[in-house]
Chains A and B, each alone.
Chain A
Amino acid sequence: MFALVMLISQLSAAADLTIEINRGNDDPLPIAIVPFSWQAGFTVPEDIARIVERDLHRSGQFAPIPREDMISRPDSSREVYYGDWKSLGVDYILVGKLGLNGSNGLSASYELMDVNTQRVIFTATDIASFSKARYLAHTISDRIYEKLTNIRGAFRTELLYVSSTRDTDKPRFRLIKSDIDGANEVVLLDQNQPIMSPTWSPEGKRIAYVSFETTRPAIYLHNLETGQREQLTNYPGLNGSPTFSPDGRKLAMVLSKDGSPDIYVMDLASRQLDRLTDHFAIDTEPAWLGDGKSIVFTSDRGGKPQIYSVALDGQQLQRLTFEGDYNARARVLPDDLGLILVHRNQGDYHIAIYDTKRRKMEVLTTTSLDESPSVAPNATMLLYATSYRGKGILAAVSVDGGVTYRLPSQYGDVREPAWSPFLD
Chain B
Amino acid sequence: MSIKTAVSSAALLAGLLASNVSLAQTDSRSFQVSAGADSTMFEQIQQLRREVMDLRGIIEQQGNEIYKLKQQSMDRYIELDRRIGSLGTAATSEPDAGLSGEAIASANTAGTTGEDLAVNRNTANPGTGNASSDYARAYALVGARDYPKAIEAFKQYVKDYPTGDYTPNAWYWLGELYVAVQPQELDSAVQAFQRLLTEYPDNHKVPAAMYKLATVYFTQGDKQRAQDMLTHVIDRYGNSGSSAVKKSREFLRKNF
Contact = CB atoms under 8 A, between A and B. Distances in A.
Nearest to A302: B57
B207 to A, nearest CB: 9
A363 interface: yes
A117 interface: yes
Given A322-B61, A362-B239, A117 B53 contact: no
Contacts of B64: 319, 322, 359
Interface in B202-256: 231, 234, 238-243, 245-246, 249, 252-253
Contacts of A403: 241
A117 to B, nearest CB: 7
A322 B241 contact: no
B145 interface: yes
Contacts of B60: 302, 306, 319, 322
Contacts of B231: 358
Interface in B168-202: none
Contacts of B245: 400-401
A27 B243 contact: yes
Nearest to A353: B249
Interface residues of A, number: 29
Q: Interface residues of A: mostly helix, strand, loop or mixed?
A: loop
Contacts of A268: none
Given A281-B53, A300-B53, A337-B253, A402 B239 contact: no
Contact of B246 (A281, A355, A360, A402): A402
A337 B50 CA distance: 34
B53 A400 contact: no
A399 B252 CA distance: 15
Interface string A2-34: 000000000000000000000101110000000
Contacts of A300: 53
B243 A402 contact: yes
A166 interface: no
Interface of B: 49-50, 53-54, 56-57, 60-61, 63-64, 67-68, 143-145, 231, 234, 238-243, 245-246, 249, 252-253
5 contacts: A26-B241, A322-B64, A360-B234, A400-B246, A402-B243
Interface of A: 23, 25-27, 86, 116-117, 280-281, 300-304, 306, 319, 322, 337, 355, 358-360, 362-363, 399-403
The 4 closest A-B pairs by CB, nearest first: A302-B57, A400-B246, A303-B57, A402-B241
